[in-house]
């Protein structure tokens, strides 16, 4: 996804008024308040839009916005999420709805809310899977477990596997293989001399949560402590040669993670760890080729997969099995899960029961739920209007590219060809996936949520494995209609605008052209710009990883991108913490491109009110979050912080200066020669 719910800081007055320490020469001493920080709205009087535009526009909202119980963030995305949630919660209890998708989602929903049955069962639904892992006595037993196609492997296969479009031939499906996830998320944390503040907080919360779950499953306190220690020990070994999150998000990863292997080559490279046998058991063994994303990880896991590590690997499998099912057990386990999230993200309380049930249905049955939602609430007239706006944006880009002076003819033609080949998906799919083969027993029939989750997982694996050696279906969506977000996919050169985001401040009813362009128009421009950012620009019109740039043009592109990265790196994310310009670069490019595109379209409209346009744009990025949530996002999120997505972007456009009378000496002023853009 390319539009994230970027979070921010809560807390001490020290954190409230972060100054922008801008580079010397042409910059004003801006005193922009980091209004993502909780309570920042009350820190001082309402500023002039000439000094802190984001806080000026959103001042009343920032002063009154409150977190809901159990949540660490509130913003325009979450507010629209709340609207969609209310619609869907009604559908989950509407007995008049017909169809298999409605039956599946409503049955799972009823099971989630049957706390009497869940409390009666307690931890027992997951215990057969725990006992299976405990029965492992040798590496050979471990291999037999990992290659058993009948087991849902809640606790992990020690690797990930699934189909994806081939980056060298995007018309064909291939099979990708990657490292399994880590409890601290980032492999770099395990290599650091000391854990970061957010990782320390996460580990402490994990430790407390894991100890409770293990003891609930029947392990004594000392055994539970030893297993938790073993879990971290084995994760440290597994992470030793894995790529960190930042490396994975850098443009170079697009090529470094594309390593084609045959199954014979995989088997030869993995003589101890049964990678090829796992691939077979999961249904992917007939693939013509495989993409091994991290060859160094594969070498490392073959060293780790040894008898001396067996007990620690078993601890990992037991703990991950409990973690992946805890939210499906009784009230006690559910409560512990809430405590963990609150400790990590700085939230407090618990989300309401009906919201929890809705979110769980969305997590396990998002596609069937999406069909039910779209058939009830997706408006075909809105879909048509969005498609028309997308057409206007592509027309602008076509004209812009044709006149871009720094592009040579060869690169310009390839860029326009990519634009002309863009696949457009708006609101909801034209055809729906078939879920007729998916079913599970409810409580009355002797079923439980863990077994239901196992059935869903088996169905999804089987569905994915059917794609092996097939052609890519370009009509298929990655997101679901109820998603409050949007994305560009370089793998099939597509822009995707789900119905969920077509409301709230993104698609204001009665907001006029200014609200439309500042909201969903900017979203569309942002996503199309991703086709030509540091990541998307590595793919051609068919979704192939291909260098279609001349050396001269690529050098100029890189120089322009570096100027954007360098500028964002001067901005304070928090006191003493600079924005990581490299990390946020692709999203910063997309923001700048989307806003510039909408401004260009607006110039063609007589009487267009640019002040209203920029105000509509600023409302999109209004956001409040806890300090803990913000620390996490500063380190891991590829998006600039919300207040920067407003202020650092509007100050690049002359129309902003004209609309609000911004002059040298004002906090929002940036000298023309210092303004940044790529397109």
Rounded to 10 deg, the angle between the 551-569 and 581-602 helix axes is: 100
Contact by Cβ (8 Å): 245, 580 = no
- pLDDT reading at 1 higher than 70: no
Distant-in-sequence, close-in-space partners of 396: CB < 8 Å, separation ≥ 6 = 597, 600, 601
pLDDT attached to residue 627: 86
- The H or E element containing residue 573 is strand 572-574
Tokens encoding 156? 């992990």
- pLDDT reading at 444 higher than 50: yes
- The H or E element containing residue 81 is helix 76-92
> What value does the mean pLDDT of the chain take?
92
- pLDDT reading at 80 higher than 80: yes
Distant-in-sequence, close-in-space partners of 415: CB < 8 Å, separation ≥ 6 = 401, 407, 532, 548
- pLDDT reading at 121 higher than 60: yes
* 15-29, 31-45, 220-234, 460-474: range with lowest mean pLDDT: 15-29
pLDDT attached to residue 39: 59
- pLDDT reading at 316 higher than 50: yes
Which pLDDT tens digit goes with each residue over 597-638? Answer: 999 999 999 999 999 999 999 999 999 998 888 888 888 899
> CA dihedral in degrees (506, 632, 46, 59; nearest 10)?
30
Q: How far apart are the first and last CA of the chain?
A: 21
Mean pLDDT across 627-655? 93
Please state, in angstroms and as integers, the Cα–Cα distance from residue 48 to each residue in 58, 93, 542, 610, 652, following that order: 12, 48, 47, 17, 18
pLDDT class of 35 with cuts at 50, 70, 90: confident
- pLDDT reading at 13 higher than 50: no
pLDDT attached to residue 36: 79
pLDDT attached to residue 6: 28
pLDDT attached to residue 15: 25
pLDDT attached to residue 549: 97
- pLDDT reading at 427 higher than 50: yes
pLDDT class of 31 with cuts at 50, 70, 90: low
Mean pLDDT across 60-82? 93
What does the alpha-carbon distance between residue 231 and residue 18 come to, in Å, rounded to a whole number? 39
pLDDT attached to residue 579: 93
pLDDT class of 32 with cuts at 50, 70, 90: confident
Q: Is 663 left (phi over 0), alpha (psi -120 to 50) or beta?
A: beta
pLDDT attached to residue 29: 38
Domain ranges of the chain: 114-350
Cα atoms in the Cβ-side hemisphere of radius 13 Å centred on 219 = 23
pLDDT attached to residue 596: 96
- pLDDT reading at 2 higher than 70: no
Please count the helices (runs of H) and the strands (runs of E) in the chain.
30, 11
- pLDDT reading at 22 higher than 50: no
Mean pLDDT across 666-673? 96
Mean pLDDT across 284-293? 98
Rounded to 10 deg, the angle between the 295-304 and 221-239 helix axes is: 140
Tokens encoding 312? 């620690």
Which pLDDT tens digit goes with each residue over 155-201? Answer: 899 999 999 999 999 999 999 999 999 999 999 999 999 999 999 99
Q: 363: helix, coil or strand? A: helix
Q: Which CATH class is domain 114-350?
A: mainly alpha
Mean pLDDT across 632-658? 95
pLDDT class of 509 with cuts at 50, 70, 90: confident
- pLDDT reading at 24 higher than 70: no
pLDDT class of 113 with cuts at 50, 70, 90: very high
pTM of the entire predicted model: 0.91
- pLDDT reading at 379 higher than 80: yes
pLDDT attached to residue 25: 31
pLDDT attached to residue 11: 29
């Amino acid at each position: 996804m390319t539009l994230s719910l970027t979070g921010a800081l809560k807390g001490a007055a020290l954190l409230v008024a972060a100054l922008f320490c801008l580079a010397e020469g042409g910059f004003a001493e801006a005193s922009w308040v980091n209004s993502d920080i909780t309570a920042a709205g009350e820190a001082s009087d309402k500023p002039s839009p000439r000094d802190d535009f984001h806080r000026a526009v959103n001042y009343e909202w920032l002063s009154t916005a409150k977190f809901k119980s159990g949540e660490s963030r509130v913003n325009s995305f979450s507010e629209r999420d709340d609207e969609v949630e209310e619609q869907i919660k009604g559908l989950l209890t509407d007995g008049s709805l017909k169809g298999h998708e409605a039956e599946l989602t409503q049955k799972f929903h009823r099971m989630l809310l049957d706390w009497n049955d869940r409390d009666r069962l307690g931890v027992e639904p997951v215990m057969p899977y725990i006992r299976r892992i405990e029965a492992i006595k040798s590496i050979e037993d471990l291999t037999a477990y990992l290659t058993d196609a009948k087991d849902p492997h809640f606790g992990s296969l020690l690797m990930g596997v699934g189909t994806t479009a081939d980056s060298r031939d995007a018309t064909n499906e291939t099979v990708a293989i990657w490292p399994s996830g880590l409890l601290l998320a980032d492999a770099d944390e395990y290599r650091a001399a000391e854990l970061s503040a957010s990782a320390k907080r996460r580990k402490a919360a994990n430790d407390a949560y894991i100890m409770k779950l293990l003891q609930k499953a029947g392990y004594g306190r000392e055994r539970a402590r030893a297993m938790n220690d073993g879990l971290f020990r084995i994760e440290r070994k597994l992470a030793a040669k894995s790529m960190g999150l930042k490396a994975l998000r850098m443009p170079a990863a697009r090529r470094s993670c594309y390593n084609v292997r045959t199954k014979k080559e995989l088997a030869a490279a993995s003589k101890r760890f049964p990678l090829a046998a796992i691939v077979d058991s999961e249904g992917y063994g007939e693939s013509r080729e495989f993409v091994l994303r991290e060859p160094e990880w594969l070498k490392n896991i073959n060293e780790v997969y040894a008898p001396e590590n067996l007990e620690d690997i078993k601890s990992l499998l037991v703990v991950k099995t409990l973690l992946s099912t805890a939210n499906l057990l009784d009230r006690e386990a559910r409560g512990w899960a809430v405590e963990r999230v609150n400790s990590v993200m700085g939230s407090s309380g618990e989300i309401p029961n009906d919201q929890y049930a809705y979110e769980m249905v969305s997590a396990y049955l998002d596609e069937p739920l999406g069909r039910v939602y779209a058939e009830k609430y997706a408006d075909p007239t809105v879909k048509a209007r969005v498609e028309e706006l997308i057409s206007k944006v592509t027309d602008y880009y076509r004209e812009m590219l044709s006149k871009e002076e720094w592009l040579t003819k060869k690169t310009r033609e390839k860029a326009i060809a990519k634009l002309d080949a863009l696949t457009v998906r708006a609101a909801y799919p034209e055809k729906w996936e078939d879920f007729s083969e998916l079913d599970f027993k409810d409580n009355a029939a002797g079923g439980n949520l863990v077994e239901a989750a196992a059935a869903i997982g088996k169905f999804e694996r089987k569905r994915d494995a059917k794609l092996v050696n097939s052609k890519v279906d370009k009509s298929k969506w990655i997101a679901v209609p109820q998603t409050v977000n949007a994305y560009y996919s370089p793998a099939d050169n597509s822009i995707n605008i789900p119905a969920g985001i077509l409301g709230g401040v993104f698609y204001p009813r009665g907001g006029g052209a200014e609200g439309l362009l500042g909201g969903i128009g900017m979203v569309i421009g942002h996503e199309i710009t991703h086709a030509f950012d540091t990541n998307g620009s590595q793919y051609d019109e068919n979704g192939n990883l291909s260098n279609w740039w001349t050396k001269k043009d690529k050098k100029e592109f890189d120089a322009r991108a570096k100027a954007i990265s360098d500028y964002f790196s001067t901005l304070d994310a928090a006191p003493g913490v600079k924005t990581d310009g490299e990390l946020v670069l692709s999203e910063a490019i997309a923001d700048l491109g989307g806003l510039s595109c909408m401004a260009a379209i607006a110039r063609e409209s007589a009487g267009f009110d640019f002040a209203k346009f920029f105000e509509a744009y600023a409302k999109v990025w209004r956001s409040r979050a806890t300090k803990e949530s913000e620390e996490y996002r500063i380190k891991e999120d590829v998006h600039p912080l919300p207040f920067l997505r407003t202020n650092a972007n509007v100050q690049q456009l002359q129309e902003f200066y004209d609309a609000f009378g911004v002059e040298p000496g004002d906090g929002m002023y940036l000298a023309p020669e210092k303004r940044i853009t790529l397109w």
